[in-house]
Chain A
Amino acid sequence: MFDTSTSTTALLAEVTEFVWKEADILDRKDYDAWLDMWLVEGIYILPMGDGEDYENQLNLCYDNDKMRRLRIDRFNRGFSISSAPAADTVRTVSRIVIDDVDGDQIKLRTAQHLIEDKFGRQRIWAADVFFTLKKTDDGFKIDRKIAKLLNSGGMLNSFSYLF
């Protein structure tokens, strides 16, 4: 556990830098750089509704390393009409809260506001995004990322980008 305000502030600054970097990478659609931010065993989930048994429920996406790479490959190859071109996005990540620190593992949650633009139409999405990060010799790596959209269990639109 971390117990001094100094270390909390320092850690908050470190993880903030990391999640801001990720947000910037996703807005720029620099997906190869995004893949490098992950642990191989990492899981990327966009769940629906309030359930947390992600493996046994239907999600918007439940990506292991293989599915993440296939997803990025699909975006990059240019054959997917919805992502060629994809919507442009601008997102902000804020309200970062560190929930737990256990050895080299840090759990945090953030608020994300994203605006997409396609066909001159803008849509707004808000999400609570939960990260489990691991501190490695190569900086932080994502072990788990769960992006819970508001109204995730309701009527959405299709997405040509990542949260």
Chain B
Amino acid sequence: MSLDTTPKFSDLDALYDVENAKVATEMYEDPALFAEEMDKIFKKTWVFVAHESEFPDKGSFKLSHVGLDPVIVVRDRKGKIHCMVNRCRHRAATVCEVKKGKTSSFQCPYHGWGYGLDGSLRAVPYPEQYGDDFDKSQHGMLKLRTEAFEGMVFATFNHDAEPLVDFLGPEVCRYMTLFMKQGGGFPVKVIGEHQFSVPMNWKVQLENTTDAYHFPIVHKSFMQTLDEKTEDLFAFMDKNEGWVEDLGNGHSIMMMMPTREDLDERMDDPIEPRFEWLAEEIRKEGYSEEQVKRIVLAVGGPGFNMNLFPNVSFSLSFFRVLTPVSVDKTDIRHMALGMDGGPQIANQTRLRLHEHFQGPMGFGSPDDAEVWERVQRGTQGGADLKILVNRGMVDEEPGVMGPRGHVSAETGMRAAYEMWKRMMEQEA
């Protein structure tokens, strides 16, 4: 092998300098590195594919992605969840182009090969020409392993991967359970999603969900549209009460409003003035005062963001999912969450709050998208300069699973990049 075929990213220490928390510019710019990330990260670890409420019934399915691979997530007749690559084993056509729905089987439109809900090959038209030894059991759709926790469905191509809950770790699992309290006593349900594509490397997004430092700057114009009490809730940078913590395996949490870590602990508080009107509406529907409180607290949502390596995060009141498309293109989904069976007015309020910040027309997301793109544009210059993720190293202290720093520390980014490095070090 000649030297010029050696990838320039062979030196992982130069790509991410752990000690000084510096990231090399190629990390956002090198297509060969991107290809290797797809193999060593997205083909190897647990990747979020769907929330259970998106395909609730037997036979319901949803299209998703694991890295670059389009997949179908589906429940079979017994309710068991399967995930398989959306590709016919014959001549590769996709077997499904409906984003979400219900079916009893998948049939390839090209030559009619039919697959069961578990991806097994059931029917081949005119099979005689394949001979007697054609083995259908060897021609099922390419399956991924799937596991779920708190309604979050993950899939992996790696059949040797550790169990999902071990990958998440105890602290992530604990926070996921706390996050789901915004069901307000009802199951959490995905009630819609905003989708927008951003010309950026996927890691620019990976860095963002536990980055409090950008909030008062990028989202100043959103803050200006809040009432005083709500604005105070978002003034976490000035209050210095929160923290960011490395939760292991690249995951991290940003606790912005520690008083809202566990919504149940707020049950004795008076109803927030901004939601008094809502409490009154819910009371009219005959809910008990305790339920009214629980529902109103849920509408307000919990007080933290949590980022899971490599593609999903929990952000106050919604899920944010990233799908890498190419080295400089990433698709983003912001899933709105509601209460399955909860009062209509409460879910309407959640929808309007989501629209206020999120999505292509929100008061927040377009500004996020703009700065993410600006990072991608900026890294086209100064190739030898490093990206700094060292903020807050000065006063980090040990947390439960890893270091814990100031609410605006870049501890979460360091956690993600250390995991990135660990995965990229593996043999392919």
- Grouping DSSP codes into helix (H, G, I), strand (E, B) and loop, the B interface class, with mixed when no group exceeds half, is helix
In contact, B360 and A58 (Cβ under 8 angstroms)? no
Q: Is A95 part of the binding interface, using a Cβ–Cβ cutoff of 8 Å?
A: no
Q: Which of A68-97 contact B (CB under 8 A)?
A: 70-71, 73-74, 77, 79-83
Q: Is B45 part of the binding interface, using a Cβ–Cβ cutoff of 8 Å?
A: no
In contact, A155 and B195 (Cβ under 8 angstroms)? yes
In the bound complex, CA of A83 to CA of B218 (Å): 12
Interface membership of chain B positions 187-215, coded 1 if the CB is closer than 8 angstroms to chain A and 0 otherwise: 00001111111100000000000000000
**Chain A residues whose CB sits within 8 angstroms of the CB of B371 once the complex forms:** 81
In contact, A70 and B363 (Cβ under 8 angstroms)? yes
In contact, A119 and B363 (Cβ under 8 angstroms)? no
With known contacts A81-B367, A155-B331, A60–B360 Cβ distance under 8 A: yes
In contact, A71 and B363 (Cβ under 8 angstroms)? yes
In contact, B348 and A56 (Cβ under 8 angstroms)? yes
Q: Is A139 part of the binding interface, using a Cβ–Cβ cutoff of 8 Å?
A: no
In contact, B224 and A77 (Cβ under 8 angstroms)? yes
Q: Is B344 part of the binding interface, using a Cβ–Cβ cutoff of 8 Å?
A: yes
Query: Distance (Å) between the CB of B131 and the closest chain A CB?
Result: 43
Residue among B221, B351, B361 making CB contact with A77, cutoff 8 Å: B221
Q: Is A8 part of the binding interface, using a Cβ–Cβ cutoff of 8 Å?
A: no
With known contacts A58-B355, A61-B361, A154-B195, A79–B220 Cβ distance under 8 A: yes
In the bound complex, CA of A58 to CA of B248 (Å): 34
| Chain A residue nearest in CB terms to B372 | A158
Q: Is B336 part of the binding interface, using a Cβ–Cβ cutoff of 8 Å?
A: yes
Interface membership of chain B positions 349-367, coded 1 if the CB is closer than 8 angstroms to chain A and 0 otherwise: 0011011100111010111
| Chain A residue nearest in CB terms to B218 | A81
In the bound complex, CA of A70 to CA of B365 (Å): 16
Query: Distance (Å) between the CB of A43 and the closest chain B CB?
Result: 12
| Chain A residue nearest in CB terms to B344 | A56
Query: Distance (Å) between the CB of A136 and the closest chain B CB?
Result: 28
Q: Is A59 part of the binding interface, using a Cβ–Cβ cutoff of 8 Å?
A: yes
Residue among B196, B225, B344, B355 making CB contact with A156, cutoff 8 Å: B196
In contact, B361 and A159 (Cβ under 8 angstroms)? yes
**Chain A residues whose CB sits within 8 angstroms of the CB of B347 once the complex forms:** 56
In contact, A70 and B367 (Cβ under 8 angstroms)? no
**Chain B residues whose CB sits within 8 angstroms of the CB of A81 once the complex forms:** 218, 367, 370-371
Query: Distance (Å) between the CB of A1 and the closest chain B CB?
Result: 35
List 21 A–B pairs whose Cβ atoms lie within 8 Å, in order of A's numbering. Answer: A55-B348, A56-B348, A57-B192, A58-B336, A70-B225, A74-B225, A80-B363, A80-B366, A81-B367, A82-B369, A82-B370, A153-B99, A155-B197, A156-B196, A156-B197, A156-B360, A157-B369, A158-B366, A158-B369, A158-B370, A159-B361
Chain B contact residues, CB within 8 Å of chain A? 99, 191-198, 218, 220-222, 224-225, 331, 336, 344, 347-348, 351-352, 354-356, 359-361, 363, 365-367, 369-371, 373, 377
